[in-house]
Amino acid sequence: MSARVLCALLVGSALSLSLATWAQPAAVPPPEPNTLVPAGNARHAASAFPDRIVVSPAQDPARGFGVSWRSAAGAQPPVLEIVEAGDSPDMGTPRRVPARTRALRAENGEALHHQARVDGLQPDTLYAWRVQGAGAWSPWMHTRTLGAADAPLTVLYFGDTQNKNASLTTRVVREALRHAPDATLAVFTGDQVNGRDGDDDNEWGEWFESTAPLTTMLQVAPVAGNHEYTQHEDAAGERMTLGAHWPHAFALPGNGAPGAEPATYWFDAHGARFVVLDGTSALEHGTAQAQARWLEAALRDNPHPWAIALVHQPMYSPRQDRDNALLREHILPVLERERVDLVLQGHDHVYGRRGGEVPQRATPQYIVTVAGAKQYLVPEIVRRQMRPVAEDTQLFQVLRLEPARLRYEARTATGRLYDAFELRRETGEVRLVEIEAGRIPQRDCPRDVTPKGRTDRCWE
């Protein structure tokens, strides 16, 4: 009997404490609650003060962006004020941009969610802006518009944050900002929250808490994961519906695929086109073909050297017994045919990278990563298909794009280099250059059982 099976039997039975202690190789702490919010505490209820403030790219983020925020109900109409940032505290006469407001009732009571879309901005320009809640203003925020196609761009990429965001995602985001203070764009590849458990509003509160101040300093492009959906049963059987928070939480470009509009969109950032897919809608709502056609049109129309696709569920799943067949049937051929450079994914709570269907080609590079606390295991077969892989590791990624070179780095929660490569565009072809120097060794799960007694995961 293996140690892992023995541990499972011990944890699942009522054997004596002394025997259980003997069976577990290392002390495992008790499981941590999913949020830091004690039962009954209303810390994340809406107030007069604007909160959950996040900037998202417009279709052309050099010229505009959208801002979402939240407040309690109040007398004054919510509005955004914006000026070109200067060194004087005198903000002059700001331009006022009205917001659209919608109400949302969750476990913390009713809140008003506001969205303002700012256009007509100048590229590569630092703007100061603030938003009004229910009679109270936010601080003046600074956000830089994106720049020209040939100007360098730095992007932060985070996998699933999902669980224990205030407790354990916060440190990853702060380390990422420290390593890439020049980043102007951040992408999150889904499962920002765990959801589905009646605690969604506290979880969203903690996601914003853990990601601040990134969400106002950078433009944030989120992907919807399956945990942004709610699962329920109706007369037609089990259904997944995009959660109520999603359309309120982010002011997105609104240029999505037919049938999957709320969580699909594209935008251009310097010399790259970013296309965001909704894997859950593709898998559960039958929109895979519509998204594939829309993706193909967005890629064929791409005037830029680089193309980056984002989707929560991986094309090649690094988790045992997971295969997103509909994505592989409809989306994968488009990614391959149109020579997307990077496919940024999440969902499987490990790290793994691999090339595509044609081994001789440098692209696409398919990446799965995880920022948050939930950690799964990498099966043996995946270890032969992906390199590098990692278990038991919170990560962030830094992408640095220039017209002829894309540098990628995956770093651990403490900032150590885990994976790195460059894509170099030379005479029309893209070449992959692995960067091995400075990488730390492969990280594998050091424990047989999680704090929750699971032997099929590494943490929680």
Q: Which chain residues interact with Fe ion by CB under 5 A?
A: 191, 225-226, 347
User: Shortest approach of Fe ion to residue 246 CB, angstroms?
Assistant: 14
Closer by beta carbon to Fe ion, 191 or else 200: 191
CB of 194 to Fe ion, least distance (A): 10
For 61, the token pair is 């983020």
In this structure, the number of other CB atoms found within 10 A of the CB of residue 233 comes to 8
Closest to Fe ion by CB, 202 or 280: 280
Q: Which is nearer to Fe ion, 347 or 354 (CB)?
A: 347
Least Cα distance to 335 among 304, 359, 303, 366 occurs for 366
Closest CA to 383 of 306, 451, 445, 452: 445
Beta strands in 137-280 (DSSP E): 141-144, 153-158, 185-188, 219-222, 229-234, 237-242, 265-269, 272-276
Q: Which is nearer to Fe ion, 34 or 184 (CB)?
A: 34
Q: How far is the CB of 127 from Fe ion (least distance, A)?
A: 34
Nearest-approach distance from CB 155 to Fe ion, in angstroms: 21
Which residues have a Cβ under 8 Å from the Cβ of 134 and sit 6 or more positions away? Answer: 47, 48, 71, 72, 73, 74, 75, 76, 112
| CA 459 – CA 392 distance, rounded (Å) | 7
Q: Measured from the CB atom, is 113 or 347 closer to Fe ion?
A: 347
What is the smallest separation between the CB atom of 376 and Fe ion, expressed in angstroms?
Answer: 11
β-sheet bridge partners, residue 390: 351, 443
- The residue with its CB nearest to Fe ion is 347
Kindly state the smallest distance separating residue 347's Cβ from Fe ion, in Å: 4
Instruction: Using the minimum distance from each CB to Fe ion, give the nearer residue, 144 or 374.
Output: 374
170-179 vs 200-211: helix axis angle to the nearest 10? 30
**Gyration radius from the chain CA atoms:** 22
- Smallest separation (angstroms) from Fe ion to the CB of 162: 7
CB of 312 to Fe ion, least distance (A): 6
Q: Return the sign of the alpha-carbon dihedral for residues 157, 163, 168, 174.
A: positive
| Nearer of residues 183 and 368 to Fe ion, judged by Cβ | 368
Strands, sheet with 265-269, edge to edge from the N-terminal-most edge strand: 265-269, 272-276, 306-310, 342-345, 365-368, 351-354, 389-390
Tokens for 94, please give them.
């700001």
Beta carbon of residue 314, minimum distance to Fe ion (angstroms, whole number)? 10
**Over the range 190-222, which residues count as b (16 or more CB within 10 Å of their CB) and which as e?**
bbbbbbbeebbbbbbbbbbbbbbebbbbbbbbb
Q: Which is nearer to Fe ion, 248 or 374 (CB)?
A: 374
Q: Output the CA–CA distances (angstroms, integers) from residue 10 to 4, 26, 28, 265, in the order listed.
A: 10, 14, 14, 48
- Between 345 and 397, CB nearer to Fe ion: 345
